[in-house]
Structure 1
Amino acid sequence: MTLTTWETLAAKKRQALRNSIPPEWIVPEHLLPPDSQEDVTGFPESSGWFTPEELAITNSTALELLPKLASGELKSETVTRAFCKRAAAAHQLTNCLSETCFPRALETAQKLDTHLSQTGQPIGPLHGLPISLKDNFNLAGLDATVGFVSHIGDAAKSDSALAQLLAKAGAVFYVKTNVPTAMMIAESVNNVFGRTVSPLNRNLTSGGSSGGESALIAFKGSPWGIGTDIGGSLRIPAACTGIFTLRPSFGRFPTLGCRSGMPGQEAVQSVNGPLTRTLDDLAFWAKTVVDSEPWHADPRCLPIPWRETALETNPGSCKLKIAVMWDDGLAKPTPPVSRALRETVEKLKAKGHEIVEWSSVDQDEGGRLLKRMFLADGGKAIRKEIERSGEPWMEELAMYETATEIGAYEYWQLHLDRVAFQKKYLDRWVASGIDAILCPTTPYSSVENSKFKHVGYTGVYNVLDYSCISFPCGIKVDSKIDSAPGDTYEPLTELDRTIQAEYNAEAVHGMPINLQLVGRRLEEEKVIAMVKVVLDATS
């Protein structure tokens, strides 16, 4: 690292990424939208650069593609090429990728096509489907920098456990996606690749830390993406781009072989989950992973098979008892999110579901626990990597830069505090008899780049290890209705004052709004089924 500067290393890495895109997938300069164009999701259709077949393939959902791939109606090589091209375009417009492995993808796809033609049988339930991965999933031969300059050139020796499982099911890997430094910022920005923006509006963030995935999927450069979540890193990007995600409880999906931004930090566990454009795609992915019995590959996976719920077998007769948390006591949601929550609640009531209030009394404690766990090492894990390369600290990581390390005894006490908090929250839940909590995913629909400030709505449920889904509720921001709070607004906290003061209705006009449905620990099947009920009630 001392032979060159961090800037040179980062520049070389960015150029290598650019060079990995074949010339035929570089968008001709005369077709590129101007930098001033905010929404670029229509580029594939409007540019004329994609063939009708490429558009038909990449506009399809995973569940629409899989039967055609399994039958041979579509070749995996054809589908893979289409998504490689669209992912390349997405990167050129949003800066969403960190790695490509196009030759590996095409070779894999060709082998899958040959196997199908010779045997008449698909490899597995994901036969031939391209799947994108967040940067921290190890793939042999590729870096997993997780936003650190110090990890450039430190290529993985083998694939992560989840990647191996998905490959056995027939998946094709073709790209990895950008994350923030250490994956500990709610927007995807780092000193290696820079900032990823939302394809729906490039002035807005795609969220973090799985923001490269959310940008790619919203652009339809991937039918399925896999990200991770330690404080909201799946749910926040999903909310910023209007897609679906599942934050599972630890142990349902394998995490072995993923690179961490703070390795060894296990007071709050990082989990893997899908990012999709439809709930059906999400449900199929989750069931497929569990049906593969991942507990044989990852020693920390729980041997729990996929469990059908009464909501799935007889959805029409099931009425839910849902607790609504209107705010977390620290920062109220911005006006469009509050409106979306109100309207969703009214529609649920109209369908006969029971709605009760959920107090935010415990949310502050949960948020403080999360912060204490993240900072327990005094920022050493992050500092070590930053000092190795000499790259500057990101402004968003200031609390890690100034943190003070605690001792082993204090760390043990922190674990005791965590369990006591989990027990208190559980007791409230059981006493209330609720099925789920409905609340904002974030205070924002989305927000301008560099202005995301509060992860409390998601992070508390990481401390609790609850199953959560962030889902688009079908409502979009309307700047005429969702005007900023007036001078008479009384903020809950200084944080709330700042968030409301910075709210810009015109900047987020037309953006989709996500809400969050929270189930109890290890209730992945139930929370998926409950979101289906909510969407049915609000459609």
Structure 2
Amino acid sequence: MTWESIAEQKRHALKACIPSKWLIPAAIFPPEDQLDVTTFPKESGFFTDRELEITSTPAQTILSHVSSGSWTAEEVATAFCKAAAAAQQLTNCLSEIFFDRAIAQAKELDSYFQQTGKTKGPFHGLPISIKDNFNLIGYDSTVGFTSLVNDPATYNSTLVDLLLGAGAVLYCKTNVPTAMMIAESVNNVFGRTVNPRNRKLTSGGSSGGESALIAFGASRIGVGTDIGGSLRIPAACTGIFTIRPSFGRFPNFQTRSGLAGQEAVGSVNGPLAQTLDEIVLWAKTVVGQEPWIRDPKCLPIPWRSVETKKSLKIAVLWNDGFCTPTPPVSRALKETVEKLKAAGHETITWAPTEHKGLLDTLARMFVADGGKSVRKLLEPTQEPFRPEMKAYEDATEVGTYEMWQIHLARNTLCKSYIDRWNETGIDAILCPTTPYSSVESGKFAYVGYTGVFNVLDYPAVSFPCGVHTDKDVDVAYANHQPLSDIDGQVQNDYSAEAVHGMAVNLQLVGRKLEEEKVLAMTDVILKAISPTNGSKQ
């Protein structure tokens, strides 16, 4: 079979997994020119009031309802499966569908509860969606390659076993870009995932299927991964929350990778969710399961309670020296800093001293094998390189000595960064997550604001800061002097009209392995932005 026919067959099989009763009738199917489909669940009449109540309820409350017996795990799972079916039809966000399995699992949880009066674990009855690269026995983890179609996993990822053991209901896997190394979720198997808030825009990558599913309202908590921004970028594109943890804090063992064996910069997993409270819930619960007992690379650090200072000292990275944030992101950063000052926090300007070296190092690490990892996954079906992966197609392999020199350069830069942090006495760095609020599909060109913190291995939260793009306010810069060629491209591509109304995310970065602190400081920032909301935002 050709790679094209393999992909077509896989897409047909995926579509067939949607029950006919959950196919959206033509009479209410949103037309192509309806860009925002997040209104569909409430306005279409396709969902019952009960289903809407369930899918719009925060995870903590869902768990409370199920553990009290006022809701069944089955009805909760069914509501989220139906919502995911609609999300798939409108955004192309899924890669694997196992609704029948999920509902059967939920029924077993209900039986267990009825017989024992107890819940199975801290996630009892909570539907959780997972990114395509998490292995689940019996299902593909294609990570966008046709050669991996019809190659079902024979073992579970460590996190999957942990979630199932904690009582979570897994119901779908979500789309990713080829090898999970593109900032938009597009591949030759499933095609492109679009942003449910505006279907002309990208939902980001590589966890873009997750971000689309959550932003649509078909998942409360989903799990993605991040090696260069793959959690934070999708969260920014869709206006939701995530945390990129330091390596070893959450279990990431036995997941599939497009660059298997590449460990110069570690891939980590983390939650994406509609609220910050749900991010904290996931993180605290997963760490509470003592994942280091099962994952040899997970660190034995229990979840710690922290008290935040009344007045934080926050360093502000206005730009990274290479790419100017587009107008709405610059405005959001400025307005957020003004609100932080008004709330009594101290801010200083942070210079991007090491950023060029860090980004150069990251780029060299990713293609150090000369693109062999990707090429070997393309060759069995003669699938071509996607144009977004030209750097991998053209790469030259480096030798062991050269790789060791890259490691030395990385370590020197990391030492310089931590020294500056200590000298200034800052609590966190506030900066853009990306130069964009979101961007039209095919135009995401720069990942520098996230990638530096992967090399440094610092925890970072991407969060909506309450600012939305306004086409009348956020007009393109006049007489802009580009910082670099990529800056020129980003600004030339910018269209205030195209991204009008999109939420803007910022990024808060903390010290290595201090996930509790950076989440707590994010809550402080949210309260400074909107005192009545805080983490409920």
Normalised by the length of structure 2, the TM-score is 0.98
Deviation at 1:520, TM superposition (A): 1.1
1:509 paired residue number: 500
Secondary structure of 1:474 counterpart? strand
2:301 paired residue number: 304
Deviation at 1:22, TM superposition (A): 0.8
2:25 equivalent to 1:25 = no
* Matched letter for residue 445 of structure 1: S
**Percent identity between the aligned chains?**
62
Unaligned runs of 5+ in 1: 312-316
Following the alignment from structure 2 to structure 1, what is the Cα–Cα distance between the partners of residues 157 and 385? 28
2:12 equivalent to 1:15 = yes
Deviation at 1:362, TM superposition (A): 1.3
* Matched letter for residue 278 of structure 1: T
Show the 5 A alignment for 1:98-247: 98-247=95-244
Deviation at 1:493, TM superposition (A): 0.9
* Matched letter for residue 460 of structure 1: V
Secondary structure of 1:386 counterpart? helix
1:326 paired residue number: 318
Secondary structure of 1:323 counterpart? strand
Q: Deviations over 1:232-286 (max 9, x none)?
A: 0000000000000000000010111100011000000000000000000000110
* Matched letter for residue 492 of structure 1: L
2:248 equivalent to 1:251 = yes
Unaligned runs of 5+ in 2: 531-537
Following the alignment from structure 2 to structure 1, what is the Cα–Cα distance between the partners of residues 146 and 511? 38
2:410 equivalent to 1:415 = no
Secondary structure of 2:200 counterpart? strand
Following the alignment from structure 1 to structure 2, what is the Cα–Cα distance between the partners of residues 387 and 508? 38
Secondary structure of 2:256 counterpart? coil
1:314 paired residue number: none
Deviation at 1:417, TM superposition (A): 1.2
RMSD across aligned positions (CA): 0.7
Deviation at 1:421, TM superposition (A): 1.1
Deviation at 1:25, TM superposition (A): 1.1
Following the alignment from structure 2 to structure 1, what is the Cα–Cα distance between the partners of residues 32 and 186? 19
Structure 1 runs (4+) deviating above 3 angstroms are none
Match of 2:72 among 64, 72, 75: 75
Show the 5 A alignment for 1:358-437: 358-437=350-429
Deviation at 1:104, TM superposition (A): 1.2
* Matched letter for residue 332 of structure 2: A
Secondary structure of 2:439 counterpart? coil
1:446 paired residue number: 438
Deviation at 1:59, TM superposition (A): 1.1
2:97 equivalent to 1:97 = no
Deviation at 1:31, TM superposition (A): 1.3
Normalised by the length of structure 1, the TM-score is 0.98
Secondary structure of 2:201 counterpart? strand
Deviation at 1:387, TM superposition (A): 1.2
Following the alignment from structure 1 to structure 2, what is the Cα–Cα distance between the partners of residues 191 and 49? 31
Q: Deviations over 1:407-451 (max 9, x none)?
A: 011111111111111111111111110000000000000000000
Match of 1:535 among 512, 522, 526: 526
Following the alignment from structure 1 to structure 2, what is the Cα–Cα distance between the partners of residues 142 and 224? 21
1:348 paired residue number: 340
2:517 paired residue number: 526
Deviation at 1:392, TM superposition (A): 1.6
2:459 equivalent to 1:467 = yes
Following the alignment from structure 1 to structure 2, what is the Cα–Cα distance between the partners of residues 187 and 499? 15
Deviation at 1:321, TM superposition (A): 0.3
Following the alignment from structure 2 to structure 1, what is the Cα–Cα distance between the partners of residues 43 and 306? 43
1:357 paired residue number: 349
Q: Deviations over 1:216-244 (max 9, x none)?
A: 00001111100000000000000000000
Following the alignment from structure 1 to structure 2, what is the Cα–Cα distance between the partners of residues 302 and 484? 46
Following the alignment from structure 1 to structure 2, what is the Cα–Cα distance between the partners of residues 100 and 70? 26
Deviation at 1:393, TM superposition (A): 1.0
Deviation at 1:26, TM superposition (A): 1.0
Q: Deviations over 1:183-222 (max 9, x none)?
A: 0000000000000000000000000000000000000111
